[in-house]
């Protein structure tokens, strides 16, 4: 398994994967480790696409993904990929798209366990009343991403 890091406006992105695809993309407040030398070939395109996203050059990711999770979690994560850049959707609507609005709690829990930050856009899922509920990376990051994708942060990235 290869590892890479990318400094973003929201912190340090940790990227893990191999030739079978990205398994983990997470965000931390940590700095890039001093012993990190270079981006492994298997992760270069993922790092580049993340950098392009933050520079405003990319709205859609085209990457091989290989997240680890249950079949249900993977269904939720697949459906998240259908939420367009700049748009949001409620947990209830996501549950309905998956065929069972009564599964809203399980859908929300799966959304929260998404191992591929940003690329699988769990930040685009909000409460039915429009509130920013739950986000593993912190609600301030969720708010930043939603505003960025709606064009509210253009020109103030760096």
List pLDDT tens digits, range 108-155: 999 999 999 999 999 999 999 999 988 888 899 999 999 999 986 554
Catalytic residues: 122
Give me the pLDDT at residue 134, please. 80
The whole-number average pLDDT for the span 85-90 is: 95
Give the per-residue pLDDT at 39.
96
| Mean residue pLDDT across the chain | 93
> Could you tell me if 145 and 102 are in contact, meaning their C-beta atoms sit under 8 angstroms apart?
no
The pLDDT of residue 12 is: 97
CATH of 71-149, one of 3.30.565.10, 3.30.1490.190, 3.20.20.70, 1.10.10.10: 1.10.10.10
**CA separation for the pair 94, 35 (Å, rounded):** 41
d(CA 107, CA 85): 20
57 band by pLDDT with thresholds 50, 70 and 90: very high
Q: What is the DSSP letter of 102?
A: G
C-alpha angle 67/71/75, rounded to 5°? 80
């Amino acid at each position: 398994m290869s590892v890479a890091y990318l400094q973003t406006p929201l912190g340090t992105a940790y990227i893990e994967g191999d030739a079978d695809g990205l398994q983990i993309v997470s965000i931390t407040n940590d700095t890039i480790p001093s012993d990190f030398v270079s981006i492994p070939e298997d992760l270069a395109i993922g790092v580049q696409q993340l950098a392009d996203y933050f520079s405003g050059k990319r709205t859609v990711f085209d990457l091989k993904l290989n997240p680890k999770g249950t079949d249900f979690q993977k269904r939720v994560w697949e459906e998240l990929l259908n939420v367009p850049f700049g748009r949001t959707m409620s947990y209830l609507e996501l549950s309905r798209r998956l065929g069972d609005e009564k599964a809203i709690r399980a859908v929300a829990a799966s959304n929260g366990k998404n191992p591929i930050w940003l690329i699988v856009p769990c930040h685009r899922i909000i409460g039915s009343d429009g509130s920013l509920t739950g986000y593993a990376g912190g609600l301030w990051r969720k708010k930043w991403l939603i505003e960025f994708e709606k064009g509210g942060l253009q020109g103030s990235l760096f």
